[in-house]
Chain A
């Protein structure tokens, strides 16, 4: 069963919008409540003081997810390092995607940009599970600085896979800066599903790509996790693109554009 990890700063009043709860009704959900502590404070000390309050709040959220459909469980973590805790719990629960919460009403249209380091078929498989037999339309989206044919093929393959599962799909291939184009394309969509990006200098400086998308588009973002096997495949694909005569430029910019 597909599982999504929803993480919340539970003691800081993070909430989940009703639209996201409904959207995740078709999948299992792990609600991860976390509380980040300064290093002066041992996590155990914070637990003594806050555990009951945090679990109460967490129970309410988990209950809402369970009511919406899928199985829901809760985890509560006291930590100095939010990223590490989220990654660990995602691994332990075998979650297929993270949810970055955002405000939305009922979800009728998903924006699915084909970016990040996750293979397109992994993303479309997740979208298929997520949409199920609901009436949710999907826009498969790709933006690049030049007109890559490989991407167009990947986009078409993805669209075909989704149509086969009975989902209404549109594809959009835009020439321009990937991130800006994505943000421009967001209006008219209620949520974004994208692949996880490898940590880069830019994500170090400006925050995780998914979180930037979430804050620019306001709505929730589901980030499909990558796994190691696919990283290898990804490398092969990267080589295939590099040897593509249509995209002959210097290798540096080439590897940049495949990374995004």
Chain B
């Protein structure tokens, strides 16, 4: 076999896995399973293991679609009303702060992802950079973080479904929000287990359609709000609830920026990872960040923040009606359905990959990554994603769900920055990222600090639940996988 010469046009291939350097993963879990780690060669188009090749099939568009598709549902279609209610027109600032924090983390994440383009994303970097305890806590927290996020998107979807019905003349009242969210949550899980058609193209189309709807709407809304079209709206006070409210709101709406790390969970399937991973992560954050800020500006120009707060999760529908009449409302309702659906679905898929990554490393029973023969899908992992989601959806607590999701992700983000600093301080031989974070070490340090700081501005209950999940994960480590060692095991 001529594998040595198959690195293709990309010179960026590298030999991972320094098994000879004594970096073999060690130990077994309670059930006697050891982590599965093999030497691989990463090329631009495939991962080559001893006896097989894993094709890289996702391009830049696919990566952006995952990032944007995951994020856009929350930031535009669920949060503007809630955020304006808490921070007034300055909610635009909250979204901007969120974007800056997300960027500060997306850059280090890009570096780690190009150094370790494997499925599992953030969990993988931390278990290799900081060891098994941190890895377990983050891996399981990521699982639950994604579960909380999915539940949040689904409840948002429920609100839009009810509004859609209202828009077409069937008024059912908000009592149906949770039942609808539950129904679709179960539906997505089942579809992901049984559906074998590639929905990737569909997802790309949905994201493209959403971006077009939003661009037209936001462009018109901005012109209107600025007085170019019609009369300029009289602005209320910019920061009616004080500067702290801007920060607490930033903590709340940070859920709108969780998608870029989901790009890292499919790092193993990305073509030309050295180029596409950073572009997809940073690009999706920048694109949605701009859209969010403009959306909030347009929304707060249309209505006073008290009115927006009253309109709640689907305030954007009335903003659409304000600018473009019935057609605007319909476009937003339709966009909201699509966006929350694509966010929920993308998150369920990421959850399943997160579970697989942890189970491959023997931190969860190996059975969790079984694939069923009939459909070729990871039914156990998808069930472990979808099941808890339904429980959380039933609570219907939009803000708490969002904040806990952000909490668990922010821990992951902060630790990723720390992992980067640790790896860089004493660079192992295998560490050879194609993309290096600009402004090192300031960017990762700021990224870590701002991630942890944002947690401080959350509601007490979210902090307590988030901490409880982390403690439970740590307890699981001590019970189940204390003897597993993963640090530096590539």
Which residues of chain A have a CB within 8 Å of any CB of chain B? 37-51, 54-55, 73, 75-81, 84-85, 88-89, 92-93
CB of B357, distance to nearest CB on chain A (Å): 9
| Docked complex Cα distance between A41 and B55 (Å) | 12
CB atoms of A80 and B57 under 8 A apart: yes
CB atoms of A76 and B376 under 8 A apart: no
CB atoms of A40 and B52 under 8 A apart: no
| Docked complex Cα distance between A77 and B51 (Å) | 9
CB contacts under 8 Å to A, within B251-268, are 266, 268
Which of A38, A55, A77, A92 is close to B54, meaning CB atoms less than 8 Å apart? A77
CB of B4, distance to nearest CB on chain A (Å): 11
Residues of A within 8 A of B199 (CB): 39
Interface residue? B45 (CB, 8 A): yes
Which of A38, A39, A45, A88 is close to B55, meaning CB atoms less than 8 Å apart? A88
Give the top 9 A-B pairs by smallest Cβ distance, nearest first: A79-B55, A43-B54, A76-B52, A80-B57, A81-B57, A42-B119, A38-B196, A77-B53, A85-B55
Known pairs A44-B119, A44-B268, A79-B55; list 14 more (Cβ under 8 Å).
A40-B193, A41-B371, A42-B266, A43-B55, A43-B269, A45-B119, A45-B356, A45-B360, A47-B52, A50-B371, A77-B46, A78-B53, A79-B54, A88-B46
Which of A40, A43, A44, A79 is close to B192, meaning CB atoms less than 8 Å apart? A40
| Docked complex Cα distance between A37 and B8 (Å) | 24
CB of B358, distance to nearest CB on chain A (Å): 12
CB atoms of A78 and B55 under 8 A apart: yes
CB atoms of A55 and B46 under 8 A apart: no
Residues of A within 8 A of B11 (CB): none
Which of A46, A55, A80, A89 is close to B198, meaning CB atoms less than 8 Å apart? A80
Residues of B within 8 A of A39 (CB): 198-200, 349
CB of B147, distance to nearest CB on chain A (Å): 16
Residues of A within 8 A of B53 (CB): 75-78, 85, 89
A45 with B371: in contact, given A76-B51, A84-B55 (CB under 8 Å)? yes
Interface residue? B307 (CB, 8 A): no
| Docked complex Cα distance between A81 and B56 (Å) | 9
CB of B186, distance to nearest CB on chain A (Å): 16
| Docked complex Cα distance between A73 and B51 (Å) | 12
Interface residue? B195 (CB, 8 A): yes
Interface residue? B300 (CB, 8 A): no
Residues of A within 8 A of B171 (CB): none
CB nearest neighbor in A for B357: A42
CB nearest neighbor in B for A47: B52
How many A-B pairs have beta carbons closer than 8 Å: the answer is 101
Which of B36, B55, B57, B268 is close to A48, meaning CB atoms less than 8 Å apart? B36
| Docked complex Cα distance between A93 and B5 (Å) | 10
| Docked complex Cα distance between A40 and B355 (Å) | 12
A46 with B269: in contact, given A79-B57, A80-B57, A92-B8 (CB under 8 Å)? no
Interface residue? B382 (CB, 8 A): yes
CB atoms of B2 and A88 under 8 A apart: no
CB atoms of B119 and A73 under 8 A apart: no
Residues 368-388 of B, flagged 1 when their CB comes within 8 A of A and 0 if not, give 011100011110001000000
Interface residue? B128 (CB, 8 A): no
CB of B49, distance to nearest CB on chain A (Å): 7
A-B contact pairs, 15 of them (CB 8 A): A40-B352, A40-B382, A42-B266, A43-B269, A45-B360, A48-B360, A50-B371, A77-B53, A79-B55, A80-B198, A88-B46, A88-B55, A92-B2, A92-B6, A92-B8
CB contacts under 8 Å to A, within B287-302, are none
Residues of A within 8 A of B369 (CB): 45, 48
Interface centre among A75, A76, A92 (most CB of B within 10 A): A92
Interface residue? B353 (CB, 8 A): yes
CB nearest neighbor in B for A73: B1
Interface residue? B18 (CB, 8 A): no
Residues of B within 8 A of A47 (CB): 49, 52, 54
CB contacts under 8 Å to A, within B4-54, are 6, 8, 36, 45-47, 49, 51-54
Residues of B within 8 A of A88 (CB): 45-46, 55
| Docked complex Cα distance between A77 and B266 (Å) | 17
| Docked complex Cα distance between A257 and B69 (Å) | 43
Residues of B within 8 A of A76 (CB): 51-53
Residues of A within 8 A of B376 (CB): 37-38, 41, 46
Residues of A within 8 A of B352 (CB): 40
CB atoms of A78 and B349 under 8 A apart: no
CB atoms of A78 and B52 under 8 A apart: yes
CB atoms of B377 and A41 under 8 A apart: yes
Residues of A within 8 A of B198 (CB): 38-39, 80
Residues of A within 8 A of B8 (CB): 92
Interface centre among A40, A49, A54, A76 (most CB of B within 10 A): A40
CB nearest neighbor in B for A50: B371
CB of A161, distance to nearest CB on chain B (Å): 31
Residues of B within 8 A of A80 (CB): 55, 57, 198, 200, 269
Residues of B within 8 A of A75 (CB): 1, 53
